[in-house]
Amino acid sequence: MTSLPLYPAIITDMIGSLCIIVLSFLALRYAWLLIRKQPENFLWGFLFYFCLTLASFAISRATGHLVKHILLFSGDEEAWRFINPISGGTNTLLMISLAAVTLYYHKGIEGYQAINRKARSLKEAYDQLEIAADQLHKMNLHLEEMVEERTRELSASEKKFRNLFNNSKDMVFFSDAKNHLLTMNNAGFKMLGYPLDEAPDLNLVDIFKNEDELESYHKVLRSQGFVEDLEVEFSKADGTGISVLLSATAVYDENNMLSGCDAIVKDLTRIKTMMAQLAASEKMASVGQMAAGVAHEINTPLGVILGYAQLMMDDFSAESEPGQNLAIIERQTKACRKIVADLLKFSRQSESAREDVSINEILMDVIAVTQHSLNMDHINVHQDFTPDLPLIVGDTERLRQVFVNLVNNAHHAMEQQGSGELTMISRYDATTHEVVATVQDSGHGIPEKILARIFDPFFTTKSVGKGTGLGLSVSYGIIQDHGGRIEVESPVTNKQSGEKAQGTAFHIKLPAVVVEAASVRE
């Protein structure tokens, strides 16, 4: 059997041994560079010692193999037998060291990670302490400025609240658990009729007119914690009642016990007046339709009666008894026809001519016609006309009739007093684009219980023979026919002081021509 040559295997073994040495030292150098870059990194330290052990093992093994081949080629087998155990033992020790380093790698990593987590935790705590210290330092430096800025913010917030509290047109009040009013804005005292310079200490018991409503208010407030849109009646300083809409929120102390409430109160007087006027307007519309029907039905037989009476008067002398009776029939029939004509005017069934009209000119004409009789009863006439008022579209004669009726009613209301003041005002309301004419007297006024009935046909408070009760009804129909409205105020409110004064004011509001022209252009 021919033996194979060992040279290729020997050469390969020697080259491999040299490569192991080179590669292990390259790894050792790379690990050394990592340690220099990050000396505190445990992983790079472990890797360096692992590479150092690996390099030592590579040198020992590669050196042993090289020495073996050199000695065997030189024929010095005796020297190799001496060195062989030493080289093997060294390799074994280095292999065991390498294995030990590898086995304890995981434990080392866990310890490193634990130390690293602790270090990160300490670093985060240190960073937070550093931030807190920096903030504290800044606060110490700018504490006075921060206090001043916060004081300004609180002052601005308090000022906004105070302005809202003082300038609110609704009543705003705060009360404690015993119903005592701690504070209330000026609108509240004004609404209740108390003077602002002598505002009294009030209790909810003094304000609520009905005890049942106060008990109901407390019951809802305690059960729900708030009261929303509760309609109650408050008592004013003069003892009269006022209808209001109350909303309140309960206030609790630190023990969750009711300590009081804050509330907002809205006056419903104007709203109720508007609702009453709307109801009256609807009622007048239906009454007008009925009046038109009644007038047409009565007008025909009245004409027949008047015609036959006038024919019969030709057969008798005026001095005879039948002639006098027929004259009475003629006179009363004509009176009935006038009432029917007024009913037709009230129901807006008659034709009227429309043209551009100056309300100031109409008022001046009415004053010229009525002033003499007013002066005879010591009634002074005052004029407050706004010049250059916009024109209105209407029937001059019919509008004049309205103001004559109003002036006559004012005259009757003041003639028993022996004197009085009649004021006629004209102005332009830019918000509603209306021309407003007011006839105001200082008479005895209109009782509240009949205020809603004054425009009803045939309703009158005058004595028999002094009126048919159709004057205001006809005036109402004429103004409605002109697209306007009549508002009555009794007693009269002084716009400057807000106080009530004896008398009655009728406000006639008619649409201005400029508004209609603007709407046409649009």
DSSP 3: P
Can you tell me the distance from the alpha carbon of 372 to that of 368, in angstroms, rounded to the nearest whole number?
8
Contact (CB, 8 A) for 440 and 487: no
Q: Look at residue 244 and give its three-state secondary structure.
A: strand
Distances in Å between the alpha carbon of 50 and those of 94, 247, 276, 392?
Answer: 11, 83, 103, 110
Q: What is the pLDDT of residue 510?
A: 92
Closest CA to 272 of 246, 242, 247, 248: 242
- In 280-365, at which residue ranges do the beta strands (DSSP E only) sit? 355-357
Rounded to 10 degrees, what is the CA torsion of 7, 11, 13, 17? 160
Is there a contact between 200 and 206 (Cβ–Cβ < 8 Å)?
no
User: Cα separation of 11 and 69, whole Å?
Assistant: 9
The span from the CA of 59 to the CA of 25, in Å, is 10
pTM of the model: 0.40
**Crossing angle of helices 269-313 and 321-346, rounded to 10°:** 150
User: Per-residue b/e over 271-309, b at no fewer than 16 CB within 10 Å?
Assistant: eeeeeebeebeeebeebbeebbeebeeeeeebeebbeeb
Q: How many CB atoms lie within 10 A of CB 398?
A: 21
How much is the pLDDT for 289?
63
The predicted structure's pLDDT at residue 337: 74
Structural contact between residues 205 and 214, judged by C-beta atoms closer than 8 angstroms: yes
How would you write the pLDDT of the chain (522 residues) with one tens digit per residue?
345 566 676 677 777 777 877 888 888 888 888 888 877 776 777 777 778 777 777 777 777 777 777 776 676 777 667 777 777 777 777 777 767 766 666 666 676 677 777 878 888 888 888 888 888 777 777 777 777 777 777 777 667 666 666 677 788 888 888 888 888 888 888 888 888 766 677 888 888 888 888 888 888 888 888 888 888 888 888 878 888 888 888 888 878 888 888 888 888 877 766 666 666 655 655 666 666 666 666 777 877 787 878 888 888 887 888 888 888 888 888 777 776 766 665 555 445 567 888 999 999 988 887 887 888 888 898 999 999 899 999 888 888 888 888 888 888 888 777 788 899 999 999 888 999 999 988 888 877 777 766 766 655 655 544 555 566 777 887 888 888 988 888 888 776 666 777 888 899 999 998 644 334 333
Kindly state the DSSP code that residue 257 receives in the 8-state scheme.
Answer: -
Query: CA 401, CA 414: separation in Å to the nearest integer?
Result: 20
CA-based angle 40:46:48, to the nearest 5?
A: 95
